[in-house]
Every structure is written in structure tokens, then in C-alpha cells.
Chains A and B, each alone.
Chain A
Amino acid sequence: QVQVVESGGGVVQPGTSLGLSCAASGFTFSRHPMHWVRQAAGKGLEWVALISYDGSNKYYADSVEGRFTISRDNSKNTLYLQMSFLRAEDTAVYYCVKGYLGTSYGPFDSWGQGTLVTVSS
């Protein structure tokens, strides 16, 4: 079955960097766009970034543009999110999300369990 499993979360100080990974299985990873979505405690869902199936196109929320980088390795079925210059407001559960086959503009059909990132001094 489809699985996406995030890793790499933790507690970091403001201004520092952290990298997240997402291991995908149960589907043809290289044919699907992938997203990162975050959720602060008790809050709603905030889309963070999108990468096209082949990695050629990347899009970011304004709140992370220039600080976060999304990437993928289709040979390893793995999605990444490199986060730099972290701020307290980046504290959230980060979800790796599988996008709809065939288009970057489609529903989010499988979500991981999430990994918690806490930015605190």
C-alpha cells in the first residue's frame, strides 16, 4: 500500500538549519508531484512547497520562499525539505504528501504521519 514516512524533525534554535526526508513506497514515486504541508499545534493546514514529478518545477509559500528548498531523488524514492534561517513561527508538524498522478495541480491523496519541528531558544 501507499506509504510516505517523514523523518528528521527535532528541536533547533532560531536561525539554524534542519533537513527533513520522506521515504515513499507502494507507488511509482517518479510519476507523482510531491508536497510538504505543515500544521502548527491547534492550527490549520498550511501548504509549504511543491515539486513536480521530475523535479524540474518547484513552488513555495511566500512564508518560506528563499529559506526552504524542496528536492527529490527519484532513484531513491525520497523527498526532501531543507530548511534554513528557521524562525519560531516555523514550529509545526511537517507532512509529506503525495500529489495526484499526471499533474502538479491535483488533490493530495496520501499523507504521512508527520514529523515535528520545534524552533526554540
Chain B
Amino acid sequence: DIVMTQSPDSLAVSLGERATINCRSSQSLLYSPNNKNYLAWYQQKPGQPPKLLIYWASTRESGVPDRFSGSGSGADFTLTISSLQAEDVAVYYCQQYYGTPVTFGHGTAVEIK
């Protein structure tokens, strides 16, 4: 199974400041034939289901604010919130869909400092 390791476990950032979450996979998620990284990021607010933010490592889902961006390739990835807003308080998960079983990171809780 592909193990997804997120860091940090939690993060406190001031409003308007940058938040950075890292995700590392135990094997490369880059599929050479199509040059795509099979990595997604999800946001989950309390009492709500997860919401897709980023897929193919860097493609923003429709309707997601452009302060959210994804980067990285192979086995190292980053989710960046460029200017944290109050509504961004949530748990963020990375996920690999390169193969089954699909696996998620354990989550990173983002809060306001």
C-alpha cells in the first residue's frame, strides 16, 4: 500500500499569512505515460464532508479560491494557502489515487493564530 505522510499535524497561522502543508508518498505518484501526478487535496470543515480542492497535484477544482495552490511531483507535494482567511479553518487531507487501495494522509488541522 502507498503510505501518505503529512506534516505538520497542526498549524496555527495569522489571518492573511501563508499556510503550507506538506505531503510525502511512499512511492512516486507520477504516471509517466501521461505525466500526471495522482495526488489530490481535500478540505474538511467540522460537521461537513470533505471537499475537493486540488487534483493532479496542481489543478484547482472549479470554484476553489485562487489562494489555494498545489505543487510538487513524484513523491513530495505541497498545499499552500497564500493568505489565510477565517473560513479556511479546517482539516486538510492529501490523497493518492495512483492505485488501490486509495490512501489518505492523516490530516493537518489549520487554525487561526
Contacts and interface: CB of A to CB of B under 8 A. Distances in A.
Contact of B99 (A105, A108, A110): A105
Nearest to B48: A113
B112 to A, nearest CB: 21
Q: Say which size band chain B's interface belongs to.
A: 20 to 34
Contact of B97 (A44, A46, A95, A106): A106
A50 B49 CA distance: 18
Interface in A70-121: 95, 100, 105-114
Contacts of A109: 52, 55, 61
B101 A61 contact: yes
Interface of B: 38, 40, 42, 44, 49-52, 55-56, 61, 93, 95, 97-107
Interface of A: 35, 44-47, 50, 59, 61-62, 95, 100, 105-114
